[in-house]
């Protein structure tokens, strides 16, 4: 794509100009935005970039491995992974309020990142801020959009650490970030991924988060996505995911009754996440997904499909 090739060159030149011979620290969350930011910086300044990937233990199946693989082949970048899942899961024990979950995760992310970053001599902090984030954070009405991104915004951190900000994606929309990612050679299966919230699976387990619950959710979510890909529907959907409900219902397996969790499936179309329509799967497809999940995932005996548009519903359940 001509435009993106030009943007890439321009962005690299701008980074070099801003950073000079300084060093940059980039926090990776596992998402497309932070990964594209990191790869762009790597092209611009090579080994003067240190990436810190904080694994909060709330990512989807194989997601942490995918991010690592993305950087494993590059010996021009310093890549540090911190497995902080125990810290996060311990702090989240018994937490049921969605906003407390978000705040806890946001606070720990900054703490873990700051501790790691202190050991690195950096001059700049890189962030994958997009244009809509810039608009949202100056929204005069405040409201939920500001809190939505609160965990991303390492508020006060750059100043506290004496770092200047580098935000090379600041003028881009999500689809442009994806195009840039392709231009930088990132795999389509990674670049084209559905958006995933920073607090991760924590806000897809209404009620208290448990390690067992997370394992169940991960597997069920992976089956749903696998079936969506197999049906060739992935790119038509804005976001699709599973939610593990803290509710048990009766089922029957062979000649025994079961009493297990309900799993919610959500899939929506949208252009920006602000409004959304449900994806109209045919019932045969949904039935196939439900029977695979109930048969393959222990701990779930009922699957429901969320048919609420946004508004009045939100995309996430918490
Ligand atoms: P809702 O649920 O508000 O979601 O309709 C709109 C979009 O925002 C994502 N989302 C979040 N993203 N941190 C994030 O980074 C959050 O706390 C958060 N909450 C919701 C959601 O996945 C959807 O794309």
CA of 249 to the centre of ligand 1 (A): 28
Indicate if ligand 1 lies below 6 Å from the C-beta of 310.
yes
What mean pLDDT is predicted for residues 288-310? 98
Cβ atoms of residues 135 and 179 within 8 Å: no
| Best probe residue, ligand 1, of 107, 148, 277, 313 (max atoms within 8 Å of C-beta) | 148
What's the pLDDT at 138? 54
Least trusted range by pLDDT, from 2-6, 59-63, 208-212, 276-280? 2-6
> In whole numbers, what is the pLDDT of the chain averaged over residues?
91
Indicate if ligand 1 lies below 6 Å from the C-beta of 273.
yes
Q: Does 33 show up as a binding residue in the annotation? A: yes
Q: And the tokens for 139?
A: 């929204």
Q: Does 87 show up as a binding residue in the annotation? A: no
Cβ atoms of residues 179 and 36 within 8 Å: no
Query: Crossing angle for the helix pair 63-72 and 32-45, nearest 10 degrees?
Result: 10
Q: How confident is the model at residue 151 (pLDDT cuts 50, 70, 90)?
A: very low
Indicate if ligand 1 lies below 6 Å from the C-beta of 316.
yes
Q: Does 141 show up as a binding residue in the annotation? A: no
Indicate if ligand 1 lies below 6 Å from the C-beta of 314.
yes
Query: Which residue puts its alpha carbon closest to atom 22 of ligand 1?
Result: 197
What mean pLDDT is predicted for residues 122-128? 94
Indicate if ligand 1 lies below 6 Å from the C-beta of 198.
yes
- Residue 276: count of CB within 10 angstroms of its CB: 22
Q: Does 106 show up as a binding residue in the annotation? A: no
Cα 257–chain centre separation:
37
What mean pLDDT is predicted for residues 240-247? 98
My answer on whether omega of the bond before 311 falls inside 30° of 0, hence cis, is yes
Establish whether this prediction's ipTM goes over 0.95. yes
Q: And the tokens for 141?
A: 């009405």
Residue 7 pLDDT greater than 80, yes or no: yes
Q: How confident is the model at residue 192 (pLDDT cuts 50, 70, 90)?
A: very high
Closest by Cα among 231, 223, 226 to 297: 223
Indicate if ligand 1 lies below 6 Å from the C-beta of 102.
yes
| Best probe residue, ligand 1, of 273, 274, 308 (max atoms within 8 Å of C-beta) | 273
> What domains sit in the chain, N to C, each tagged with a CATH number?
2-191 (3.40.50.620), 210-305 (3.30.300.10)
CA of 105 to the centre of ligand 1 (A): 14
* Per-residue pLDDT reduced to its tens digit, 96-106: 999 999 999 99
Q: Does 309 show up as a binding residue in the annotation? A: no
Q: And the tokens for 12?
A: 């690299």
What's the pLDDT at 145? 35
* Per-residue pLDDT reduced to its tens digit, 71-89: 887 888 899 999 999 999 9
Compute the distance between CA of residue 58 and CA of residue 84 in angstroms, rounded to an integer. 10
Residues contacting 232, CB < 8 A, separation 6+: none
What's the pLDDT at 155? 60
Indicate if ligand 1 lies below 6 Å from the C-beta of 148.
yes
What mean pLDDT is predicted for residues 207-228? 98
What's the pLDDT at 148? 35
Residue 78 CA: distances (Å) to CA of 71, 81, 118, 119, 199: 9, 10, 15, 13, 25
Give the 3-state secondary structure of the chain.
CHHHHHHHHHHHHHHHHHHCCCCEEEEECCCHHHHHHHHHHHHHHHHHEEEEEEECCCCCCCHHHHHHHHHHCCCCCEEEEEECHHHHHHHHCCCCCHHHHHHHHHHHHHHHHHHHHHCCCCCEEECCCCHHHHHHHCCCCCCHHHHHCCCCCCCCHHHHHCCEEECCCCCCCHHHHHHHHHHCCCCHHHHCCCCCCCCHHHHHCCCCCCHHHHHHHHHHHHHHHHHHHHCCCHHHCCEEEEEEEEEEEEEEECCEEEEEEEEEEEEEECCCCCCEEECCCCHHHHHHHHHHHHHHCCCEEEEEECCCCECCCCCCCC
From the CA of 102, give the closest atom in ligand 1. Answer: 17
Residues contacting 18, CB < 8 A, separation 6+: 124, 166
Indicate if ligand 1 lies below 6 Å from the C-beta of 197.
yes
Residue 227 pLDDT greater than 60, yes or no: yes
Query: Which residue puts its alpha carbon closest to atom 17 of ligand 1?
Result: 148
Query: Which residue puts its alpha carbon closest to atom 4 of ligand 1?
Result: 315
What's the pLDDT at 264? 98
CA of 197 to the centre of ligand 1 (A): 5
């Amino acid at each position: 794509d001509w435009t993106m090739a030009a943007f890439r060159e321009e962005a690299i030149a701008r980074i070099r100009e801003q950073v000079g011979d300084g060093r940059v620290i980039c926090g990776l969350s596992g998402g497309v935005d932070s990964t594209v930011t990191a790869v762009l910086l790597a092209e611009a300044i090579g080994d003067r970039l240190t990436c810190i990937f904080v694994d909060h233990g709330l990512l989807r199946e194989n997601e942490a491995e995918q991010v690592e693989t993305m950087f494993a082949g590059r010996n021009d970048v310093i890549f540090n992974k911190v497995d902080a899942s125990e810290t996060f899961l311990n702090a989240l024990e018994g937490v049921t309020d969605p906003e407390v979950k978000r705040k806890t995760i946001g606070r720990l992310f900054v703490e873990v990142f700051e501790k790691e970053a202190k050991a690195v001599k950096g001059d700049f902090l890189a962030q994958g801020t997009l244009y809509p984030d810039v608009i949202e954070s100056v929204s005069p009405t405040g409201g939920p959009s500001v809190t939505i991104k609160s965990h991303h915004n390492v508020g006060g951190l750059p100043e506290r650490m004496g770092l200047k900000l580098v935000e090379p994606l600041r003028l881009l929309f999500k689809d442009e970030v994806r195009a840039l990612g392709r231009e930088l050679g990132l795999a389509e299966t990674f670049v084209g991924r559905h958006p995933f919230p920073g607090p991760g699976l924590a806000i897809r387990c209404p009620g208290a988060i448990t390690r067992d619950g997370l394992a169940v959710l991960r597997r069920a979510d992976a089956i749903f996505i696998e079936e969506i890909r197999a049906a060739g529907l992935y790119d038509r959907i804005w976001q699709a995911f599973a939610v593990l409900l803290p509710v048990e219902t009766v089922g029957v397996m062979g000649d025994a009754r079961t009493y297990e969790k309900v799993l919610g499936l959500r899939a929506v179309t949208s252009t920006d996440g602000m409004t959304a329509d449900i994806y109209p799967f045919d019932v045969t497809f949904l039935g196939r997904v439900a029977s695979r999940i109930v048969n393959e995932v222990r701990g779930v005996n009922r699957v429901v499909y969320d048919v609420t548009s946004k508004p009045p519903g939100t995309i996430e359940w918490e």
